[in-house]
Amino acid sequence: MGLSLEGKTCLVTGGSRGIGKAIALSLAEFGADVAITYARSADAAEAVKAEIEAKGRKAKCMQADAVDFDGATKVIDEIVGDWGKLDILVNNAGITRDNLILRMNENDWDDVITTNLKSIFNYSKAVARPMMKNRSGSIINIGSVVGLNGNAGQSNYSASKAGIIGFTKSYAKELASRNIRANVIAPGYITTDMTEALGDKVLEGIKAATPLGRAGEAQEIADAVVFLASDMSSYITGEVIRVDGGMAM
């Protein structure tokens, strides 16, 4: 049985850049129609939409801040209204606001928790009814190895990513009887805008702590997402899959 997403419809939050962009393009490559959301990068998001369409798939590009609860419902309603259903939701949008706990302020905490964790509640809740109606769905939440192991300077980020695991397992238990699966991918260090700011010294340390001895590529996360989105993973739910070169082993 080959891997195909032909006839499937997907939403990727934060699909304008980095990992979300690679995920959106891969889902389209395997035959799916793909909608993306973004916060600020309108031009980049429109370019991703054009790339999806160039693959012969339907595409949507929607400006929607992932922290906005009502906005999530509007996004899902538009997709289900226009495309008839939503089969695959990838909750990818996320930010960092790193600081040691003594220097971390309340906004650093609130921004990261709402963007990374509340957003997942917003979209997973909005999609539950249409997926239940369809008796099918796959939700893939992008966590982090930092949610498993913690990291100095990232207490807000690791709390948000650990929270995603608890949320996903609860959601998976609630909706398994409706054939809705929910899983987490926990990336290690992946080369994107988010990690570029960390600098060469940090990168060398990360490589040294990674058994495979290199940073990961966004495409390597997208490959795991395609697997979890497809029927090839039909008996996997509530799982956390590390894609981290062995970093958190």
Beta bridge partners of 243: 187
Smallest distance from ligand NAP to CB 179, Å: 26
Q: Is 123 a catalytic residue?
A: no
The amino acid that residue 230 corresponds to is S
Q: Does 124 bind ligand NAP (CB under 6 A)?
A: no
Count of residues in contact with ligand NAP, rule CB under 6 A: 30
Distance CA 111, CA 103 (A): 15
Angle between helix axes 155-175 and 106-113 (nearest 10 degrees) is 30
Distance CA 203, CA 195 (A): 9
Question: Which range touches ligand NAP (CB under 6 A), out of 25-33, 34-42, 53-61, 228-236?
Answer: 34-42
Cα 150 to Cα 13, 110, 158, distances in angstroms:
24, 18, 6
Question: Which range touches ligand NAP (CB under 6 A), out of 9-17, 170-178, 222-230, 231-239?
Answer: 9-17
Question: Which range touches ligand NAP (CB under 6 A), out of 62-70, 79-87, 126-134, 166-174?
Answer: 62-70
Binds ligand NAP (CB under 6 A): choice among 32, 52, 66, 229: 66
Site string for ligand NAP, 90-109 (x = CB under 6 A): --xxxx--------------
Q: Which of 160, 148, 157 is nearest to 243 (CA)?
A: 148
The amino acid that residue 3 corresponds to is L
Question: Which range touches ligand NAP (CB under 6 A), out of 2-10, 12-20, 97-105, 228-236?
Answer: 12-20
Site string for ligand NAP, 163-202 (x = CB under 6 A): ------------------------x-xx-xxxx-------
User: DSSP letters along 88-115, please?
Assistant: EEEE-------B-TTT--HHHHHHHHII
Count the alpha carbons within 13 Å of 29 in the hemisphere toward its beta carbon.
Answer: 13
List binders of ligand NAP among 67-86 (CB under 6 A): 67
Distance CA 13, CA 216 (A): 21
Q: Does 144 bind ligand NAP (CB under 6 A)?
A: yes
Of the residues 38, 123, 157, 171, which is catalytic?
Answer: 157
Distance CA 59, CA 10 (A): 9
Nearer residue to ligand NAP within complex by CB, 6 or 200: 200
Catalytic center residues = 157
Q: Using CB under 6 A, list all residues that contact ligand NAP.
A: 13-14, 16-20, 37-41, 44, 65-67, 92-95, 115, 142, 144, 187, 189-190, 192-195
